[in-house]
Amino acid sequence: VVKRNGKDADGDRIMMLGNEAIARGAIEAGVQFAAAYPGTPATDILETLAGFSKEHKFHAEWSVNEKVAFEKAMGVSLLNLRAIISMKHAGMNWIADPLSVSVLGGTRGGLVIVTADDPNCHSSANEQDNRFYGMFFKIPVLEPSDPQEAKEMTREAFELSERISLPVILRSVTRVSHSRGDVLMGEITQKARKRVAFEEDPARFYLTTSRSLSRHFWLIQQQEAIKKEVESSPFNQLAHQGEKTVLFTSGIAYTYVKEAIKLLNPTEKVGILKIGIVYPLPALHVKKVLEKVDLVLVVEEGDPFMEMNLKAIASELEKPPRILGKMSGHVRYGGELTIDSVIESISDLLHLSFPTQKNQKNIQEAEKLIPPRTTTFCAGCPHSATFYVLSKIQKDMAKKMKQKVVFLGDIGCYSMGNQPPYKIGDVKYSMGAGIGVAEGIAEFSDHKVIALIGDGTFYHAGFPGLLNAVYNGSNLTLVILDNSITAMTGMQPTPGTGMTAMGVKTTTVRMEEIIKGCGVEYLEVVDSFDIKRLEEKILDSFEHRGVSVVIARNLCAIELKRELQKAGKKPAVYRVNKDLCKKCLLCLKSFSCPAISQSADTILIDESLCLGCGVCQKVCPSEAIELSG
């Protein structure tokens, strides 16, 4: 968090996460509105901001999705107040539509868009370099390399946004957002939230065809102001000492380059040129450097974004240097950079030998010592019970009716249902996409089609798909796995939780009413742990022509554990009666609960993990599982 041991004054030093540093930068800049939709690796930015919102008198919220977060932030900016929104890289795809038009009108108060990209897909369904969005919409992109810079750049991004009247993108990546560093605190510019009148300017903000066109000319002209800003930015470190070979780098890649050069200690002098504002590049400065060098290696995280832009700048030179990078195969492309991969790129370039293979061998040796672990549902997870039912239906349908059930997955903890023992899930793309894909498959096949979605994802992106399915007469079943929280990103509330990001009680939005409002006729709400009834209702839904919805509802196990702890209560736990157990292993092989294990020929329940959901008791055909004590 921002405040540690009561220290958060100007001049204090605090060890903090990159994401916390971004939040601190926004607070120092006097932010008045912050919004986000949870998504790793960006979640902690809004969590930190929400935690300090009362103290520093600004509004923070978990929005229903990134698009709404951005639109609300735009409204705040139009009142000449400062706003920040943060999201994982995929969120940018959601805001692309309103961003594309609103840049034509521009901003009033500073508006900062933080995107935390996830190279290597640590917690994402794709790799995506959002620096391209800056180029696409003609707005600047800042890229910090460590937590200190993340704070400074966030603070500066508000100022820059106000000077150029446009939103500014701050691009982080997992290794910046989630690393800790020593951060020097700056002064907090605390501005009380105030109510201000909206100043009319329809020629700027009511964007219709001819106005949009004239505002596009404004945006093009505005690029000159942006270029001037970039040329004088202190975040670009382009001091060139006459070296013939230079490494152009930015963001987290800069830290790898610095370390690689320290380790390689080359005899040939190599220049390190660091770009802080990666779009647009400071073309005048860059040209001056390119004119004097022979060889450039571009080391950057993500796609060859700077490499392409550098090549465009170099094409205007009479004698351009050789520019190498990801496009030429000299830097790892796909996945994320590592110190080893950067050492390899630089040592190849300089014809040095450095035993990175030894590091790799050590890593392989260490990996052998670590027991293999896969992601798994928690003990007492309601989703595990639902997947047990779904896999039973899948097997029964295949066996008795020779019919395949097609399962469309979505984004959330329940995407783990695709793993053994359940193996439920044929297709999974992006937020809310499962319902639409289900509609396509249902339209032209005779398969039974089940779309799966969690409660957070349903509110974020699910119900337009549901509405479309009802409106266009699809024949499918939607199973909503409702654990009443956004669990995968760390227990953020949803519109169904009845609590805001700032801890204020609010209206609980009932998904049943949305579903009925969409015109769904078959709607059943079942306790996820009542596996018999859940199976019956899903099978019943197959008899209903049209869209059927079954909500499998019970609280996330982690949240339940927290609630029990708060109340000073313990769950009623289960044990295996050795005399009755026939060692059929159904509780281990058809069902997954980390509290259940096998030791020699005994099945055991770890009572310190058991949350007392009782599903294993229902799964056991020999009545060998019973309440303990």
Q: Give the footprint of ligand SF4 on this chain (CB under 6 A).
A: 379-380, 574, 576, 581-587, 593, 595-596, 603, 605, 610-616, 620, 622, 624-625
Q: Strand, coil or helix: what is 387?
A: helix
Nearer to ligand SF4, 516 or 583 (CB): 583
- Least distance in Å: CB of 485 to ligand SF4? 18
Q: Strand, coil or helix: what is 141?
A: strand
> Strand pairing of 547-553 and 180-184?
unpaired
CA–centroid distance for 292 within its chain: 41
Q: Is 69 exposed, middle or buried (0-12, 13-18, 19+ CB in 10 A)?
A: buried
- Least distance in Å: CB of 618 to ligand SF4? 9
For residue 384, give every residue at least 6 positions away whose Cβ sits within 8 Å of its Cβ, in sequence order, or none: 377, 591, 592, 593, 615
Nearer to ligand SF4, 12 or 607 (CB): 607
Sign of CA dihedral 297, 301, 303, 309: negative
Residue 621 token pair: 């055909």
Residue 330 token pair: 């000299």
Nearer to ligand SF4, 544 or 562 (CB): 562
CA–centroid distance for 536 within its chain: 36
**59-62 sheet: strands from edge to edge:** 59-62, 33-36, 83-88, 111-117, 168-173, 141-142, 277-279
Q: What are phi and psi of 204, to 5 degrees?
A: -95, -40
Nearer to ligand SF4, 187 or 623 (CB): 623
- Least distance in Å: CB of 577 to ligand SF4? 8
- Least distance in Å: CB of 497 to ligand SF4? 23
Nearer to ligand SF4, 90 or 625 (CB): 625
Q: Strand, coil or helix: what is 121?
A: coil
Nearer to ligand SF4, 376 or 403 (CB): 376
Nearer to ligand SF4, 228 or 618 (CB): 618
Nearer to ligand SF4, 123 or 622 (CB): 622
Instruction: Assess contact for 429 and 125: CB atoms under 8 A.
Output: yes
* Number of C-beta neighbours around residue 321 at 10 A: 19
Supply the Cα-derived Rg of the chain in whole angstroms: 27
Bond from prior residue into 421 cis (ω within 30 degrees of 0): yes
Nearer to ligand SF4, 256 or 388 (CB): 388
Sign of CA dihedral 510, 516, 518, 523: positive
Between CA 366 and CA 628 the distance in angstroms is 40
Comparing C-alpha atoms, which of 276, 297, 167, 185 is closest to residue 231? Answer: 276
Comparing C-alpha atoms, which of 612, 529, 528, 618 is closest to residue 564? Answer: 612
Residue 348 token pair: 């190849």
Nearer to ligand SF4, 188 or 620 (CB): 620
Between CA 377 and CA 593 the distance in angstroms is 7
Nearer to ligand SF4, 50 or 560 (CB): 560
Nearer to ligand SF4, 538 or 616 (CB): 616
Comparing C-alpha atoms, which of 439, 417, 560 is closest to residue 491? Answer: 560
* Identity of the residue numbered 184: L
Residue 279 token pair: 């779009």
Comparing C-alpha atoms, which of 171, 316, 177 is closest to residue 250? Answer: 171
- Least distance in Å: CB of 482 to ligand SF4? 18
Sign of CA dihedral 388, 394, 397, 399: negative
- Least distance in Å: CB of 579 to ligand SF4? 11
